[in-house]
Structure 1
Protein backbone atom coordinates (compact mmCIF):
# COMPACT_ATOMS: atom_id res chain seq x y z
CA UNK A 1 0.00 0.00 0.00
CA UNK A 2 1.10 3.55 -0.60
CA UNK A 3 2.07 6.13 1.98
CA UNK A 4 -1.27 8.01 2.22
CA UNK A 5 -3.33 4.86 2.67
CA UNK A 6 -0.80 3.45 5.08
CA UNK A 7 -0.70 6.66 7.14
CA UNK A 8 -4.48 6.52 7.53
CA UNK A 9 -4.40 2.87 8.60
CA UNK A 10 -1.47 3.39 10.98
CA UNK A 11 -3.02 6.53 12.49
CA UNK A 12 -0.05 8.80 11.76
CA UNK A 13 0.76 11.53 9.30
CA UNK A 14 2.75 10.96 6.14
CA UNK A 15 5.27 13.40 7.60
CA UNK A 16 5.74 11.11 10.62
CA UNK A 17 6.28 8.13 8.33
CA UNK A 18 8.93 9.99 6.36
CA UNK A 19 10.60 11.00 9.65
CA UNK A 20 10.58 7.39 10.88
CA UNK A 21 12.17 6.31 7.61
CA UNK A 22 14.75 9.12 7.75
CA UNK A 23 15.71 8.04 11.30
CA UNK A 24 16.04 4.40 10.24
CA UNK A 25 13.04 3.22 12.24
CA UNK A 26 10.96 2.10 9.29
CA UNK A 27 12.15 0.48 6.08
CA UNK A 28 9.40 0.36 3.43
CA UNK A 29 10.07 -1.32 0.14
CA UNK A 30 10.25 0.89 -2.96
CA UNK A 31 8.81 0.44 -6.41
CA UNK A 32 10.98 0.96 -9.48
CA UNK A 33 9.43 4.44 -9.67
CA UNK A 34 10.53 5.16 -6.08
CA UNK A 35 7.13 4.95 -4.40
CA UNK A 36 7.10 3.55 -0.88
CA UNK A 37 5.23 0.30 -0.38
CA UNK A 38 4.12 -0.64 3.11
CA UNK A 39 3.00 -3.98 4.48
CA UNK A 40 0.72 -4.97 7.34
CA UNK A 41 3.85 -5.74 9.39
CA UNK A 42 4.85 -2.09 9.03
CA UNK A 43 1.64 -1.08 10.84
CA UNK A 44 2.80 -3.06 13.88
CA UNK A 45 6.25 -1.49 13.62
CA UNK A 46 4.72 2.00 13.60
CA UNK A 47 2.60 1.11 16.65
CA UNK A 48 5.73 0.00 18.51
CA UNK A 49 7.63 3.13 17.45
CA UNK A 50 4.80 5.34 18.74
CA UNK A 51 4.70 3.52 22.09
CA UNK A 52 8.45 3.89 22.59
CA UNK A 53 8.47 7.56 21.58
CA UNK A 54 5.50 8.22 23.89
CA UNK A 55 7.54 6.63 26.70
CA UNK A 56 10.03 9.47 26.30
CA UNK A 57 12.70 7.60 24.37
CA UNK A 58 14.46 9.46 21.58
CA UNK A 59 14.45 8.18 18.02
CA UNK A 60 18.11 7.08 18.15
CA UNK A 61 17.43 4.84 21.14
CA UNK A 62 14.20 3.58 19.57
CA UNK A 63 16.13 2.58 16.44
CA UNK A 64 18.62 0.69 18.57
CA UNK A 65 16.13 -1.20 20.73
CA UNK A 66 13.19 -1.71 18.35
CA UNK A 67 14.41 -5.11 17.10
CA UNK A 68 14.59 -6.38 20.72
CA UNK A 69 11.08 -5.38 21.74
CA UNK A 70 8.39 -8.03 22.10
CA UNK A 71 4.67 -7.40 22.34
CA UNK A 72 3.16 -9.23 25.32
CA UNK A 73 -0.39 -8.29 24.33
CA UNK A 74 -0.68 -5.39 26.77
CA UNK A 75 2.73 -3.73 26.73
CA UNK A 76 5.94 -3.85 24.81
CA UNK A 77 8.51 -5.82 26.74
CA UNK A 78 12.28 -5.93 26.34
CA UNK A 79 13.34 -9.14 24.62
CA UNK A 80 17.05 -8.58 25.19
CA UNK A 81 18.53 -8.76 28.68
CA UNK A 82 20.55 -5.54 28.50
CA UNK A 83 17.49 -3.41 27.72
CA UNK A 84 16.24 -3.34 31.30
CA UNK A 85 19.38 -1.43 32.32
CA UNK A 86 18.92 0.96 29.39
CA UNK A 87 15.30 1.61 30.40
CA UNK A 88 16.32 2.13 34.02
CA UNK A 89 18.86 4.70 32.81
CA UNK A 90 16.14 6.48 30.84
CA UNK A 91 13.90 6.43 33.90
CA UNK A 92 16.65 8.04 35.98
CA UNK A 93 17.13 10.69 33.29
CA UNK A 94 13.40 11.45 33.31
CA UNK A 95 13.34 11.59 37.13
CA UNK A 96 16.22 14.09 37.03
CA UNK A 97 14.33 16.23 34.54
CA UNK A 98 11.23 16.14 36.74
CA UNK A 99 13.29 17.22 39.77
CA UNK A 100 14.83 20.06 37.76
CA UNK A 101 11.37 21.17 36.59
CA UNK A 102 10.20 21.23 40.22
CA UNK A 103 13.15 23.49 41.06
CA UNK A 104 12.37 25.78 38.14
CA UNK A 105 8.70 25.87 39.15
CA UNK A 106 9.60 26.79 42.74
CA UNK A 107 11.87 29.60 41.55
CA UNK A 108 9.20 30.97 39.23
CA UNK A 109 6.57 30.73 41.95
CA UNK A 110 8.88 32.72 44.24
CA UNK A 111 9.40 35.40 41.63
CA UNK A 112 5.65 35.72 41.03
CA UNK A 113 4.94 35.88 44.77
CA UNK A 114 7.62 38.55 45.28
CA UNK A 115 6.17 40.58 42.40
CA UNK A 116 2.66 40.41 43.82
CA UNK A 117 3.91 41.37 47.29
CA UNK A 118 5.78 44.34 45.83
CA UNK A 119 2.65 45.43 43.92
CA UNK A 120 0.57 45.26 47.11
CA UNK A 121 3.12 47.31 49.07
CA UNK A 122 3.32 49.99 46.38
CA UNK A 123 -0.49 50.20 46.22
CA UNK A 124 -0.76 50.49 50.03
CA UNK A 125 1.86 53.23 50.22
CA UNK A 126 0.05 55.53 47.78
CA UNK A 127 -1.89 58.38 49.44
CA UNK A 128 -5.65 58.06 49.43
CA UNK A 129 -7.76 60.77 47.82
Structure 2
Protein backbone atom coordinates (compact mmCIF):
# COMPACT_ATOMS: atom_id res chain seq x y z
CA UNK A 1 0.00 0.00 0.00
CA UNK A 2 1.43 3.41 -1.03
CA UNK A 3 0.24 5.18 2.12
CA UNK A 4 2.49 3.03 4.31
CA UNK A 5 5.60 4.44 2.60
CA UNK A 6 4.28 8.01 2.50
CA UNK A 7 5.63 10.20 5.30
CA UNK A 8 2.89 11.14 7.74
CA UNK A 9 3.28 14.86 7.01
CA UNK A 10 2.41 14.23 3.35
CA UNK A 11 -0.80 12.27 3.96
CA UNK A 12 -3.89 14.19 2.88
CA UNK A 13 -6.19 14.13 5.89
CA UNK A 14 -7.89 17.55 6.01
CA UNK A 15 -10.89 18.47 3.90
CA UNK A 16 -10.98 21.88 2.26
CA UNK A 17 -13.11 23.44 5.01
CA UNK A 18 -10.70 22.28 7.73
CA UNK A 19 -7.66 23.33 5.67
CA UNK A 20 -9.32 26.71 5.17
CA UNK A 21 -9.92 27.12 8.88
CA UNK A 22 -6.40 25.98 9.83
CA UNK A 23 -4.70 28.15 7.23
CA UNK A 24 -6.98 31.17 7.44
CA UNK A 25 -7.37 31.06 3.66
CA UNK A 26 -10.80 31.06 2.03
CA UNK A 27 -11.80 27.79 0.28
CA UNK A 28 -12.20 29.63 -3.06
CA UNK A 29 -8.65 30.93 -2.71
CA UNK A 30 -7.43 27.40 -1.98
CA UNK A 31 -9.10 26.26 -5.20
CA UNK A 32 -7.47 29.17 -7.08
CA UNK A 33 -4.04 28.25 -5.71
CA UNK A 34 -4.58 24.69 -6.91
CA UNK A 35 -5.70 25.85 -10.38
CA UNK A 36 -2.59 28.03 -10.60
CA UNK A 37 -0.36 25.11 -9.64
CA UNK A 38 0.83 26.47 -6.29
CA UNK A 39 -0.14 23.26 -4.51
CA UNK A 40 -1.68 19.91 -5.36
CA UNK A 41 -3.71 18.40 -2.54
CA UNK A 42 -4.34 14.67 -2.55
CA UNK A 43 -7.72 13.46 -3.80
CA UNK A 44 -9.98 10.72 -2.54
CA UNK A 45 -11.38 8.17 -4.96
CA UNK A 46 -14.44 10.41 -5.25
CA UNK A 47 -12.34 13.49 -6.04
CA UNK A 48 -12.54 15.24 -2.68
CA UNK A 49 -9.48 17.36 -1.89
CA UNK A 50 -7.42 16.24 1.10
CA UNK A 51 -4.78 18.58 2.44
CA UNK A 52 -1.72 17.35 4.35
CA UNK A 53 0.37 18.94 7.08
CA UNK A 54 2.95 19.73 4.38
CA UNK A 55 0.23 21.48 2.35
CA UNK A 56 -0.62 23.60 5.40
CA UNK A 57 3.04 24.59 5.81
CA UNK A 58 3.13 25.52 2.12
CA UNK A 59 -0.07 27.55 2.52
CA UNK A 60 1.54 29.44 5.40
CA UNK A 61 4.52 30.23 3.15
CA UNK A 62 2.21 31.33 0.33
CA UNK A 63 0.31 33.53 2.78
CA UNK A 64 3.57 35.18 3.86
CA UNK A 65 4.45 35.88 0.22
CA UNK A 66 0.98 37.32 -0.44
CA UNK A 67 1.33 39.54 2.65
CA UNK A 68 4.68 40.74 1.26
CA UNK A 69 2.89 41.86 -1.91
CA UNK A 70 3.95 39.07 -4.27
CA UNK A 71 1.39 38.18 -6.94
CA UNK A 72 0.39 34.60 -7.78
CA UNK A 73 2.70 34.37 -10.81
CA UNK A 74 5.59 35.59 -8.64
CA UNK A 75 4.71 33.10 -5.92
CA UNK A 76 4.70 30.27 -8.46
CA UNK A 77 8.15 31.33 -9.67
CA UNK A 78 9.51 31.65 -6.12
CA UNK A 79 8.20 28.19 -5.19
CA UNK A 80 9.76 26.71 -8.33
CA UNK A 81 13.11 28.35 -7.62
CA UNK A 82 13.01 27.14 -4.00
CA UNK A 83 12.27 23.58 -5.18
CA UNK A 84 15.08 23.77 -7.75
CA UNK A 85 17.47 25.07 -5.09
CA UNK A 86 16.56 22.23 -2.73
CA UNK A 87 17.17 19.64 -5.47
CA UNK A 88 20.55 21.21 -6.25
CA UNK A 89 21.51 21.23 -2.56
CA UNK A 90 20.70 17.52 -2.31
CA UNK A 91 22.64 16.75 -5.49
CA UNK A 92 25.58 18.78 -4.20
CA UNK A 93 25.51 16.93 -0.87
CA UNK A 94 25.53 13.62 -2.75
CA UNK A 95 28.52 14.70 -4.83
CA UNK A 96 30.38 15.87 -1.74
CA UNK A 97 29.75 12.50 -0.08
CA UNK A 98 31.11 10.72 -3.15
CA UNK A 99 34.21 12.93 -3.14
CA UNK A 100 34.73 12.28 0.57
CA UNK A 101 34.44 8.51 0.00
CA UNK A 102 36.87 8.72 -2.92
CA UNK A 103 39.35 10.69 -0.81
CA UNK A 104 39.14 8.14 2.00
CA UNK A 105 39.60 5.30 -0.50
CA UNK A 106 42.60 7.01 -2.08
CA UNK A 107 44.32 7.49 1.28
CA UNK A 108 44.06 3.78 2.19
Question: Residue in 2 aligned with 1:45?
Answer: 58
Structure number, greater radius of gyration: 1
Secondary structure of 1:27 counterpart = coil
1:25 to 33, 38, 41: 38
1:54 to 30, 54, 67: 67
- Relative to its length, the structure with more helix (as a share) is 2
Residues in 1 aligned to 2:75 and 2:25: alpha-carbon distance in whole angstroms: 17
Residues in 2 aligned to 1:51 and 1:69: alpha-carbon distance in whole angstroms: 15
- Relative to its length, the structure with more strand (as a share) is 1
Q: TM-score, normalised by structure 2?
A: 0.60
1:34 aligns with 2:47: yes
Secondary structure of 2:20 counterpart = helix
- 1:3-55 alpha-carbon deviations (Å, 9 max, x no partner): 00111111111111011111111110111101001001111100111111221
